[in-house]
Structure 1
Amino acid sequence: MKLDRHGRWARFSYLHMKYLFFSWLAVFVGSWIVYVEYSSYTERCRGHDCKNSICDKYRKGVIDGTACSSLCEKETLYLEKCFTAKPNSQVYSGNWGDLQGVIKCQMEEAPHYDLGGEMEPRKEAAPVAFNKPTKGTSVEKFREMIISHLKAKVGDQANLADLATQVLSFTDSNKDGQISLPEARSTWALLQLNEFLLALVLQERDHTPKLLGFCGDLYMMEKVPYSPLYGISLPWIVELWIPAGLRRSMEQWFTPSWPHKAKISIGLLELVEDIFHGTYGSFLMCDVRTTTFGYNERYDFKVVDARYIIPEATFQERIRQQRCDVDEDCLYGIDCLTSCDLTKHRCTPEVTRPNLAKVCDTLKNYILRGAPSDLSDELEKQLYACMGLKGSAEQMEIEHSLILNNLKTLLWKKISHTKDS
């Protein structure tokens, strides 16, 4: 159909207006995204404030530690990229001379115990932070404080004295054979954190990154080069636009070869073994998403975020205090759910699924994809048996141990003769 001059002009005007509208919309949305991301960044990422607060206390002689001089005087330890998710727990990549790591710093008063947040004790308010132990406290009295604190955290274990000795050795940051009050106050602040406690408990097992240094409750841990477990981490704004199915496919594209995945999976199963009735009691894994785990260049498994791996004794003590109307009110983190006692409207202390069942759930898609054909059926059978475990591990200790050993043996036999082991 042939258009007249007026028609052609109208058509041009319509297309022109449409182009201008979408151009304006793109600019507006882009600007909004940048603004929101920048606003979110400035609200979350306050590493400069955290460093200033720590260094102010160090210069006043309130705290001390292996990293204080490098952070506050020599400036050879510095914060780089921000990975903070919550403003009161700052997380940055960092450099300390030739060392690369992750720097974590606590800020402000943590919220009172809340099942939606971290299960940490209430922090002291800023003006009185780092006020324990008090001036005049002897080393022996400090040791008693440590043992009492550890007992409250992990339960009355027979070898708490050994763990307290390790803590005291750590406290002597300059290795002069003496423990100063600032050193003791820094260690006491660190002992309140789940991640630090787990690093102490598992320091001989290599599942947690090594602690490189500390100043007050700011600390630096070794970098885990590959995380999350699937090896792909995207900006949150990109995540919003990726369909769940495509995301799962992308995750599989970035996984290591199957023998390497098997080695990483064995490491995760060994972690479950180590924290179930371990040397210093049992721990619960309350966030078993792949984002909390990673691995190094040798494909050794590492815990990237241990904030939600908590002592069972601490969990049970706190969960009993939680009022509830339905079971969902008794959820901590992503994965630690108990039931609601409707006669008392209080949460019961026993989790509905043991650590092993949750780990197998996470490993299913990871380890079955690409599995050798002569192993696939038996591996799938063992994983589904594992995922079906219910109740606390104590109630099914034999079955728990049997499935755990079967899975480890199955994977190990397949890779033990290869260079991947």
Structure 2
Amino acid sequence: MTSFCFLFIWILAQTYRFLKRRPVLVVIGTSVGFTLVILSFKWGFMCSNVQPQMYVKKICMDHTNGNSVGNLCEELCQLRGITSISCQTFHMGKESVFSGHWRNNSMFFKLPKDPNRHTTLHWLDDTNKKIYPSEVDFSSMIVTNVKLRFNISVDTIDAKKMSYIHYAQKGALREVEMENVWRLLQDNEYLALLLYAKFDIFPQLVGSCGALYAVQKLHPISRYSHLMSLYDSNGEWVKRIKLSVMILDFLKQLENELPEPLHICDVKIDHFGVTRDFKKIQYLDLDSVHPLSIANQITGDGSPCKQHSDCDYFDCRSFCNLITYKCQHGVVNNNLQIVCEKIFLGWVMSGRVVIPGLLLSPRSPRVLLDLLELCANPDGESGTPRAPASKEVRDRLHKLLSHLT
């Protein structure tokens, strides 16, 4: 259970205790409680297993009708195929996120938010017949899509491979497969999983069925950071230090070992996962992961602004041109600054830490806290930090944490 969930449950409990002593407010309290439950579903604090079952049922109907293909279709639609399907909280970016087991492996299933909102692959002729692009044109469309979304140039051979769904069922119409492929390639996360698979920085893509795809399930590191972390044992503290070192190694890989540095613009502790052997960190939510050039385009797209925050893209921060009042600047902070601020130090509200991060503990030495403050706010700004943490700070932090273990 995440730190946010602990906080939410605590708020509900305190509200109940308060109203219990005041019978006059019972009716109001019941209404407030009902509203909180509704909002908890909307915001992702709670979920129901009915939701994933509905998505699976729809996917299977499409599969039966010949409109969904993929290596997971048969398994999803068999009683003894994929089991233990259950919903997952705190995944508001996706239309559907649920977990399941297949062949002794745990997986996350994801469906793009509103999967029907994608560029139409076919067009209609004068007789309303669907016309599809040729194989050559389809490959060219994929090349263009990859370039626009990740600024990566793929050749026609790789684009041709990407135009097929592996292990699609025999006899499936090529047009149906092309439709499914095109839907998947419109999803930032699915495309990132394909493009960066060889770098081992994201979970492994297991397969798909229609617009639904599955990835390897990792353990979110949020289980090691919670409201009780201020009272944990030395063993738990050492474990969180090791996780922090792995995160620093991961950020270094994003910056130095890819075709172009990647920015993780929506940083949450639940978005970091650790492998079973506890040796590697990977990133779990790729909806807002972009190469630096694309992130710069997003924050500097020329849209109107009144203040700097109007130009921010989640945690990727920028500047508003206060002369033209337009967003004309690229990303000004970096992954390390965001992680130090939000993951290592914790959730801050009104200048106070509400939920401690991985490295905020009574066991934290003063030298570590000072270094984290410098990393989270390099220029010592009074407002939202808008400067990158330096490589020197990263190296010092890595060296200090390695020494503490």
Same fold (TM over 0.5): yes
Between the aligned partners of 1:58 and 1:321, the Cα distance in structure 2 is 43
Contact kept? 2:204, 2:215, Cα under 8 Å: yes
Contact kept? 1:212, 1:221, Cα under 8 Å: yes
Contact kept? 1:354, 1:389, Cα under 8 Å: no
Between the aligned partners of 1:73 and 1:20, the Cα distance in structure 2 is 48
Between the aligned partners of 1:254 and 1:66, the Cα distance in structure 2 is 45
Between the aligned partners of 2:20 and 2:369, the Cα distance in structure 1 is 55
Between the aligned partners of 2:23 and 2:103, the Cα distance in structure 1 is 47
- Give the aligned partner of residue 77 of structure 1: 82
Between the aligned partners of 2:21 and 2:370, the Cα distance in structure 1 is 56
Q: When the two structures are aligned, how many residues end up with a matched partner?
A: 353
- Give the aligned partner of residue 363 of structure 1: 344
From 272, 285, 294, give the equivalent of 2:264. 285
Contact kept? 2:302, 2:328, Cα under 8 Å: no
Which deviates more from structure 2 when the two are superposed, residues 344-353 or residues 49-58?
A: 49-58
Residues 72-127 of structure 1: CA distance to partner in whole angstroms, max 9, x if unpaired? 355623532342653862112223343222221235368xxxxxxxxxxx635xxx
Residues 144-167 of structure 1: CA distance to partner in whole angstroms, max 9, x if unpaired? 222211111122x4x533994596
**1:40-55 → structure 2 map (5 Å cutoff):** 41=41, 46-55=51-60
Residues 189-233 of structure 1: CA distance to partner in whole angstroms, max 9, x if unpaired? 22222222332344234432222221122112222234426444x
Alignment-mate amino acid for residue 103 of structure 1:
F
Alignment-mate amino acid for residue 61 of structure 2:
D
The answer for unaligned runs of 5 or more in structure 2 is: 1-18, 124-129, 346-356, 380-386
Alignment-mate amino acid for residue 37 of structure 1:
V
Give the CA deviation at 1:340: 0.9
Between the aligned partners of 1:106 and 1:135, the Cα distance in structure 2 is 25
Q: Does 1:172 align with 2:148?
A: no
**1:49-68 → structure 2 map (5 Å cutoff):** 49-68=54-73
- Give the aligned partner of residue 266 of structure 1: 245
SS of structure 1 residue aligned to 2:215: strand
Between the aligned partners of 2:93 and 2:391, the Cα distance in structure 1 is 40
- Give the aligned partner of residue 354 of structure 1: 334
SS of structure 2 residue aligned to 1:213: strand
Structure 1 pair 414–206 and aligned structure 2 pair: CA distance change class (3 A)? farther
Q: Does 1:141 align with 2:137?
A: yes
Contact kept? 1:105, 1:218, Cα under 8 Å: yes
Alignment-mate amino acid for residue 268 of structure 1:
I
Which deviates more from structure 2 when the two are superposed, residues 141-150 or residues 270-279?
A: 270-279
- Give the aligned partner of residue 96 of structure 1: 102
The answer for unaligned runs of 5 or more in structure 1 is: 1-18, 111-121, 233-246, 391-395, 416-421
Between the aligned partners of 1:306 and 1:154, the Cα distance in structure 2 is 12
**1:8-407 → structure 2 map (5 Å cutoff):** 22=22, 25=25, 29=29, 33=33, 36-37=36-37, 41=41, 46-73=51-78, 76-77=81-82, 79-83=85-89, 85-86=91-92, 89-108=95-114, 123=118, 131=122, 137-155=133-151, 157=152, 160-161=154-155, 164=158, 168=162, 171-174=165-168, 180-228=174-222, 230-232=224-226, 247=227, 249-250=228-229, 253=232, 257-276=236-255, 278-299=257-278, 300-319=280-299, 320-333=301-314, 335-361=315-341, 362-364=343-345, 365-367=357-359, 369=361, 377=367, 379-380=368-369, 382-389=371-378, 400-407=390-397
Give the CA deviation at 1:322: 2.3
- Give the aligned partner of residue 3 of structure 2: none
Contact kept? 1:105, 1:217, Cα under 8 Å: yes
SS of structure 1 residue aligned to 2:77: helix
Structure 1 pair 257–250 and aligned structure 2 pair: CA distance change class (3 A)? closer
SS of structure 1 residue aligned to 2:358: helix
Between the aligned partners of 2:173 and 2:402, the Cα distance in structure 1 is 45
TM-score with structure 1 setting the length: 0.68
Query: How many percent identity over aligned positions?
Result: 21
Contact kept? 1:90, 1:106, Cα under 8 Å: yes
Alignment-mate amino acid for residue 407 of structure 1:
L
SS of structure 2 residue aligned to 1:200: helix
Between the aligned partners of 1:369 and 1:20, the Cα distance in structure 2 is 35
Structure 1 pair 305–146 and aligned structure 2 pair: CA distance change class (3 A)? same
Q: Does 1:408 align with 2:398?
A: yes
Contact kept? 1:286, 1:308, Cα under 8 Å: yes
SS of structure 2 residue aligned to 1:171: coil
- Give the aligned partner of residue 12 of structure 1: none
Contact kept? 2:73, 2:208, Cα under 8 Å: yes
Give the CA deviation at 1:329: 1.1
Contact kept? 2:70, 2:207, Cα under 8 Å: yes
Between the aligned partners of 1:192 and 1:324, the Cα distance in structure 2 is 28
